[in-house]
Structure 1
């Protein structure tokens, strides 16, 4: 989900207390949707061409700087590791904050401004987090949280808020479960509710106009990672992949869901397309998925070779740790089958050091107890 964490899409469908200069501009909003659809499909030049009239018309408006930042985030991913464009990315988000804060302080377009500020601060926080600059990330997250709270009760007024609300409600509970060390800090945050978070995300994926895609992708990821709702995830990801066939993030998660569901033939077909993409997540995923296919076909020797290659790759990406935890768990199972209990124990321990998937954690913990 590394390139989809941006909250930019919320700002385009505000109603009520909105800035007539953009929010009531139906033509510009349609252009923006078309441009972003091209961007999601990695058609960068076409996206820029389509979005150019909007950027020119609103060149001193917060939305233009959010769009510019998002264009950079997609084309030069991972933006945090791109020395040339990372500064430009942060600069665009800071300009968005400056203009949005002026609106916010004036109180004239406060609902609009709240979204711009939430999106910009949230993206800066995410970027610094990936660069392991945790102090700056924490400061930006704190600023984003204040605006998140302001929009917490606005979902009935505007369906776009179901996405932010759903993410917060779900991860407010899930994140400290996966990362216990954060509990003393997160204790002071507003309570969450997993079931309500899922309900809000499902509502956003159906009724939101601009955040529908992001809500769907996050929902599918949660279904796979924490909730074991494989059929729902497959259904969601099939639609995303068919609509944006060039997007490797959607393809990666779709193949993962297919494999969990045991659909070997289709996953094997889709894997051929994933293999052409370069980057940490895609290269590691290729070996993990090859290994999983071999494992499910009970070719354990071939599976072991692929899993070991996945683990040995010195690649970094948002999905890398999760993917390697899957490989390590399978290597533990293979070692158990060979009677190599010492190796199995080590693989399961390594797996648990990085695993966040509920099913992977349960499997590794269960096998370690048996050893």
Structure 2
């Protein structure tokens, strides 16, 4: 999923002298939620149509440019790989920053401006990171961080900040655990707390208005990737997939959760729907999940073919490295099952070179020690 999505739209709750406060603006609130629901379900033209009156009402406000950027990000994903629309995407975020800086400097709406700036700088940093322009990404992240710190004290005032607070608190601890090389840099950032981070994300997933869906999705991902809270992940993703059945990212993560929970029959049913989507993540996931079903049924020959096809795909997406690490780990296990220890050892080593899932790392390290 795309970071800082629904959360950025909380800014409709601003107070503007010439406009009613959004929290008291029932019509705009309903429009916004309807537009978000269409966008999450990838109904782009319908989302644009629904958002239009609100975009016009807030025409010269930072929020309008955040919405436009978000529409581009969803419709042309991965936006970073689309040269034409990537420029338009960055331009909208830069316009948001310009207007938000004016509001921030004026002081009257500093709380609202803090979030505009956090969202816009954070999205630009993410975009440059995916484009491997790490210098620009680092500079934007540094700018976003200053507003993130301000947001720590604003959650009680606006519950949308629980999302950003939760993400930071959790990943401030988790990221250096997974990427030890970052420790000398991350040392200078404020401390995190995984337990508090999870609590913040759960609170955002229940009580926030605009960031609820994003908080739920990130929480499910953390449950699967690091915490092994499988039942919680299944519950979250069942709800998201049920509400947004056209969203392949939600479908992919739902199938992953089902497989982790051992629900093979339902996984196979849902996998038929994922197979129709084009894109690196969905194509790799289709091979990996088919391989996983075969593996769990102990059809190792069929599983091996699927896993090999997954790692052979050269396309890159948000989920591809994680998915391929799963395939490599299973290929290592298959090697052990059929007595090919040398191949198994190589697969486990390759797995560990890209793996970030705690259960995958633990499994590969354990088997390597035994070999």
State the TM-score, normalizing by the size of structure 2.
0.97
Q: Equivalent residue for 1:314?
A: 314
Alpha-carbon distance in 2 for matches of 1:30, 1:145: 32
Please list every run of 5 or more consecutive structure 2 residues that lacks an aligned counterpart in the other structure: none
Q: Equivalent residue for 1:66?
A: 66
Alpha-carbon distance in 1 for matches of 2:116, 2:159: 16
- What is the CA distance between 1:56 and its match in structure 2? 1.5
Counterpart contact for 2:233–2:257, Cα < 8 Å:
yes
Alpha-carbon distance in 2 for matches of 1:137, 1:159: 27
Counterpart contact for 1:12–1:210, Cα < 8 Å:
no
Please say if 1:270 is aligned against 2:267: no
- What is the CA distance between 1:28 and its match in structure 2? 1.6
Q: Which runs of 4+ in 1 moved over 4 A?
A: none
Q: How does 1:168-247 map to 2 (within 5 A)?
A: 168-247=168-247
- What is the CA distance between 1:252 and its match in structure 2? 0.3
- Cα deviations by residue, 1:252-285 (Å, 9 ceiling, x for unpaired): 0000000000000100000000000000000000
The count of residues paired between Structure 1 and Structure 2 equals 367
Alpha-carbon distance in 1 for matches of 2:198, 2:174: 12
Q: Equivalent residue for 1:163?
A: 163
Alpha-carbon distance in 2 for matches of 1:148, 1:239: 29
State the TM-score, normalizing by the size of structure 1.
0.97
Q: Equivalent residue for 1:39?
A: 39
Alpha-carbon distance in 1 for matches of 2:321, 2:50: 36
Please list every run of 5 or more consecutive structure 1 residues that lacks an aligned counterpart in the other structure: none
Change beyond 3 A, Cα 1:129–1:63: same
Q: Equivalent residue for 1:302?
A: 302
SS at match of 2:69: helix
Q: Equivalent residue for 1:335?
A: 335
- Cα deviations by residue, 1:82-136 (Å, 9 ceiling, x for unpaired): 0110000000000000000000000011011001000000000000000000000
- What is the CA distance between 1:247 and its match in structure 2? 0.3
SS at match of 1:152: helix
Counterpart contact for 1:13–1:210, Cα < 8 Å:
no
- Cα deviations by residue, 1:315-346 (Å, 9 ceiling, x for unpaired): 11010000000000000000011111110000
Counterpart contact for 1:23–1:29, Cα < 8 Å:
no
- What is the CA distance between 1:4 and its match in structure 2? 4.0
Alpha-carbon distance in 1 for matches of 2:255, 2:362: 22
CA RMSD of aligned residues (A): 1.0
Alpha-carbon distance in 2 for matches of 1:142, 1:346: 39
SS at match of 1:214: helix
Alpha-carbon distance in 2 for matches of 1:368, 1:9: 47
- What is the CA distance between 1:59 and its match in structure 2? 1.4
Q: Equivalent residue for 1:19?
A: 16
Alpha-carbon distance in 2 for matches of 1:348, 1:131: 29
Alpha-carbon distance in 2 for matches of 1:158, 1:5: 16
- What is the CA distance between 1:22 and its match in structure 2? 6.0
Greater shift, 23-32 or 60-69, is seen at 23-32
- Cα deviations by residue, 1:54-103 (Å, 9 ceiling, x for unpaired): 11221111000000000000000000000110000000000000000000
- Cα deviations by residue, 1:131-164 (Å, 9 ceiling, x for unpaired): 0000000000000000000111222222111111
Please say if 1:258 is aligned against 2:258: yes
Counterpart contact for 1:167–1:197, Cα < 8 Å:
yes
Alpha-carbon distance in 2 for matches of 1:37, 1:66: 17
